[in-house]
Amino acid sequence: MIKLTRLDGQAFILNADLIRYVEARPDTFVTLTSGERIVVGESMDRVVELAVEYQQRKHMIPSLGAGLGFQGAICSE
């Protein structure tokens, strides 16, 4: 999910997985997979940056033992 702003200044959250493409004409248009088009206040580059960051976070693999209480010790027999 990414936070964007409509031209009237109203913020909203968009599921970045639904973005089909982004255009600058000169306002920024976000076209969704459904065909719906949304005009936003952010630049095309900023929308792409937010979408890429979202995808990177979504596919991030936590480090070994993160959040599981491990202290990083390696067990040997």
pLDDT digit string, tens, across residues 8-64: 999 999 999 999 999 999 999 999 999 999 999 999 999 999 999 999 988 886 666
Write out the two tokens for 30.
């976000």
Q: What is the pTM of this model?
A: 0.75
The DSSP bridge partners found for residue 47 are none
Among 57, 65, 26, 20, CA closest to 43: 26
Amino acid at 58: K
What is the mean pLDDT of the segment spanning 57-73? 62
SS3 label, residue 36: coil
**pLDDT confidence of residue 77:** 43
**pLDDT confidence of residue 69:** 52
**Residue 61 DSSP code:** P
37: left (phi over 0), alpha (psi -120 to 50) or beta: beta
